[in-house]
Amino acid sequence: MKHLYFLLFFAFSSCLFAQEHAWVYLADKPDSAVALTNPISILTQKALDRKAAHNVSIDFRDVPVDESYISAVKSQSGITVMSKSKWFNALHVLGTQADINALLTVTVNGNLVVSSIDYADTSLNARPSANQNKHDFEASLTDFTYGNTTNQVTMIGVDNLHQHVNSYTGTGMTVAVIDAGFTNVNTMNGFQRLRDANGILGGYDFVDRNTDIYAYTGNSHGTWVLSDMAGFIEDQFVGTAPDASYYLFRTENAATETPLEESLWIEAAERADSLGVDVINSSLGYTTFDNPNYSYTPAQMDGNTAYITKGANIAFEKGILVVNSAGNSGSSSWGIVGAPADAAGVFSIGAVKADGTYASFSSRGSSAQPTQKPDVVAQGQASYVINTNDNITTLNGTSFSAPILAGGIVCLWQALPNLSNAEIMQVVRESASQYNTPDNFLGYGIPDLDLARTLSNTNFQNDMTTVKLYPNPVSNQLTIQLPLQIEEASVRLYDVLGKKVIDTKVNSINKTINTNPLSKGVYLIKVEAEGLSIAKKIIKN
């Protein structure tokens, strides 16, 4: 009987694995031109306002996937559409290889629907690839009295933001929490303050495809994570952004590990963008899957390979600040950060102990990443959370250092609303304990968010009309015109992860810098002299 059971199990498993995961990229969006002339039809007013405030363009990627194309793919034999992405104009499908390949012949009104197919099992792709994710839950089981949370709050200086005369506690800021389950958030006393303030704006369960974000009770990871930002128990527990507003999105299926979870994460990020969300907190990571054919290798944590990583980079381009846990693989053979924490556009958070020293489980950066990882760290060992029974307890993981810091960054951005996501990330790095000597364990170190606010008041908000930077966007040469009273100034250019790429001087005669060697993207330029210190975002074409 045992032998028969094994044979039946093997046959069942083989049948499951015959159903391949693939990303099907669609040919176009037939109505995109019409939608872009009327952007309120595809984005909320808050999303439009946020993009306008940070000079983020509205483009083809904001237009939803064409419904007739989705219907055409769904109608094909053997195909199940699991997820869709407007950013990639793609569908995540499940089916046999033959059925998926047949999608290349599907037409709507005589036009081919599918332009290309990318299998999660990269050995099936037409182009050769060495691609080889078990998610990493990043967890192992105005005048506030912070109680148990005192150390994790004061370590990063967010208490000083809360107690500022303007009370920077997250008011007016919107956060999307992308996670695994939000059990009892709707009933717990620890979130009563948040509910009374109508701070939960909504949510969606992308796994079970329903709007009841509390119906799934199989995992409470999202509840713990949310508590570190929004939880409140008087005199005992204060989250780092208690007065922000939140959307709750479930994308993680704790029972299985498949590439679909990457696609669902991107769906949630796209919805967050359309709703005008400022910050995404994600305490999820992907490296290996149940089916090893879909797994990544450490070398592929390179900031541009994983589907979720590419999606996170688009979220950054859209003006969202994505805060993601670095991972809990520091003590394992894997060792390094997972996806999407490897993305250049993601602010990746490692973990330290209560005394500020490295927590051994915290995933490290490596030469695989093009930018410094992790970015910074916060307390992730013995972090205090509120569990589903309203008890205050401690848990270990970068799952908790990430939201602790994300909430603090929300408060910082409230204090500095004119800065872009890239500028906020940079000023947080500059405030950190080892900014001048970063490493792969702590990144730039432990930030001081109140110091970041002070630095920014100097660096970003001096009279910016006194210095002219043009053209912006720039191609080959950037001109820096100084005010008459300034004879010479230092000019430094940083990429989105804080790496210095240009360090030079300009004056009234030599006032141009060569930007030709730079890659396309967003950069932060800082111009400094006696009595002058400004910073601004520039775009390299």
Domain ranges in the chain with CATH number 2.60.40.3080: 464-540
Is pLDDT above 80 for 8? no
Q: What CATH number labels 464-540?
A: 2.60.40.3080
pLDDT in the model for residue 135: 52
Give, as one character, the DSSP assignment of residue 89.
T
**Catalytic center residues:** 179, 221, 399
Stretch(es) of the chain classified as CATH 3.40.50.200: 147-459
pLDDT tens digits, one per residue of 45-91: 999 999 999 889 899 999 999 999 999 999 999 999 999 999 999 99
Q: What is the pLDDT of the chain when averaged over all its residues?
A: 90
What is the number of H-type helices and E-type strands within the chain? 14, 24
Fill in the amino acid letter for 415.
Answer: A
Q: Which CATH class is domain 147-459?
A: alpha beta
pLDDT at 531: 72
Comparing C-alpha atoms, which of 60, 58, 237 is closest to residue 146?
237
Cβ-contact 63, 289 below 8 angstroms: no
Contact 24, 73 (CB under 8 A): yes
Closest C-alpha to 404, from 283, 284, 285, 233: 283
- pLDDT confidence tier of residue 137, bands split at 50, 70 and 90: low
Q: Is the pLDDT score of 397 beyond 70?
A: yes
Average pLDDT over residues 218-237: 97
Q: Which of 102, 126, 123, 98 is nearest to 114 (CA)?
A: 102
Helix, strand, coil percent content, the chain, rounded in steps of 5: 30, 25, 45
Rounded to an integer, what distance in angstroms lies between the CA atom of residue 501 and that of residue 478?
14
* Nearest-angstrom CA–CA distance, 245 and 199: 4
| Predicted model pTM | 0.78
What would the 3-class secondary structure string for 88-133 be? CCEEEEEECHHHHHHHHHCEECCEECEEEEEECCHHHCCCCCCCCC
Residue 240: band (very low, low, confident or very high) from pLDDT cuts 50, 70, 90? very high
**Distance between CA atoms of residues 49 and 369, nearest Å:** 33
Pair of tokens at residue 267: 């769906």
